[in-house]
Chain A
Amino acid sequence: MIFQAWQWVKDNPTLFWQAVQQHLLMCGLSLSIALIIAVPIGVLVANSPRMAFIASSITGTLRTIPSLAILAAVMPFMGIGLLPSVIALVVLAIPPILLNTCTSIQAIDADTLSAATGMGFTPRQITTRIVLPLAAPGILAGCKTAAVQVIGGAALASFIGGGGLGDFVTTGIAIMDMSRLLVGAIPIILLAIGTEVLFFALGRVFFPSVEKSS
């Protein structure tokens, strides 16, 4: 069966690589957009406990909505295709990044910040030179959670016409062709595990002193 799947990939290389490209594009785009939105909000919100509470309750509720429902809910408003899928995945990726940014900023020692103020740092300098570097390991952990979510969600994007590797899985199930199903499922799994390894390596390279807790 795996051999058959391999044969199919060899016979249809353009179809296969198009799907891989689409899949990676979808994941990369939505993760980057989520990062651009969630980190600044996290930085802003972390300074006031009330705002942080509001943000964490909203994101907490957002997280209980299953990925499938978020993707499905976008369809009535935006139709089908790549754009609605990316938007749904952004919604999926924001909560973990936002929450982790917020909590890791709040965990920074108050003495460090007052020392920086005492040394004449402006608020802007404190944010870029002290707060963000100290919160970076936490933000990275948030990105990892978000990436796993997004890759899982991207497989489901096939249901709203987002394309990608999920298409092979759904086609395989529809025509009950197990080898076609594997053409989609195996790369998706490799991608997920690869991402996990990538983030682990990133953590090792950039923050060797931080003990891995999760």
Chain B
Amino acid sequence: MRWAPKHIDEILLALWQHLLLVGSAMLIAFVISLFLGIFTARRPKLYAVVLSVTGMIFSIPGLALFALLIPLLGIGMLPAIVGLTAYALMILTRNIASGFHAIPPDVRDAALGMGYGKWRNLREVELPLALPFIITGLRIATTTLIGIATVAAYINAGGLGAIIFAGLDQRFPEKILIGGGLTSLLAIGADLLFLGLQRRLERRRSA
């Protein structure tokens, strides 16, 4: 451990870039998936199509997807965010739609019968009921993206992956350890954060 204490700034910058990459991709993916999930939840055929297309994107290896985006978007943060967003779509859409699938039809009928409009029903009845599923989706997608984002460093997007690649190029195990270790800590942290959120939600419900 000789390199790390002298380069805290560099490490913090990489950490910040990593958070920025994953955070903005998650935000964009969440908005798209919310639309896709809600829209397709009651249309089984369309849902199957959306899920197989996003599933296919999800199975594309990170390096290949980022490489494919280079001719279209060049290198840097933009193609990285686009690629990461595409990865998150499948997980988020699937979980949001299953949240809506899990709502008992009676509840919807009751809300509609009480004179709730479509939007009010969505906002005050359906979304709160689907929330646990949505949070699970956010949790899985965030931890997955944190891992994949390391590869984005190869197309100059920065982040913790840049430290790993530097370690590879210079045969410097400490950098590999720091880059990889911080990435997993970040993933574990995100996992715990969403789990805590979920637990708080459940407690408030049961109280």
Residues 157-201 of A, flagged 1 when their CB comes within 8 A of B and 0 if not, give 001100000100110110000100110111011001101100000
Interface of A is mostly: helix
CB distance from A146 to the nearest CB of B (A): 13
> For residue B153, which residue of chain A has the nearest CB?
A68
Cβ-neighbour of A155 out of B63, B70, B143 (below 8 A): B63
Residues on B with beta carbons closer than 8 Å to the beta carbon of A172: 67
CA distance A205 to B155 in the complex (A): 41
Within 8 A of B (CB), among A12-44: none
Neighbouring A residues of B176 by C-beta, 8 Å? 69, 72-73, 75-76
Does A1 sit within 8 A of B, measured CB to CB?
Answer: yes
Whether A65 is near chain B, meaning CB under 8 Å from some CB there, is yes
Beta-carbon contact of B150 and A66 below 8 Å: yes
A73–B177 CB distance below 8 A? yes
- Asked if A181 meets B70 with Cβ closer than 8 Å, knowing A68-B161, A72-B168, A159-B168, the reply is yes
Number of A-B contacts (CB under 8 A): 121
Q: How many residues of A contact B (CB 8 A)?
A: 39
Task: Report how far A164 CA is from B32 CA in the complex, Å.
Answer: 35
Q: Which residues of B contact A64 (CB under 8 A)?
A: 143, 147, 183-184, 187-188, 191
Q: Cα distance A30–B70 when bound, in Å?
A: 30
Collect the chain B residues with CB atoms within 8 Å of residue A151's CB. Answer: 61
**Interface mask (B152-172 → A, CB under 8 Å = 1, otherwise 0):** 001100000100110110010
In the bound complex, CA of A188 to CA of B151 (Å): 15
Q: Is the CB of A155 within 8 A of B64?
A: yes
Answer yes or no: A152 CB below 8 A from chain B CBs. yes
Does any Cβ of B come within 8 Å of A48's Cβ? no
Cβ-closest chain A residue relative to B156 = A173
In the assembled complex, how far is the CB of residue B180 from the closest CB belonging to chain A, in whole angstroms?
3
- CB nearest neighbor in A for B69: A185
Q: Is B173 an interface residue (CB 8 A)?
A: yes
Which residues of A are found within 8 Å of B55, using beta-carbon distances?
196
Interchain CB contact under 8 A, B161 and A196? no
Report the 8 A-B pairs with minimum CB-CB distance, sorted nearest first.
Answer: A69-B180, A152-B61, A66-B147, A76-B173, A64-B187, A188-B64, A185-B64, A64-B184
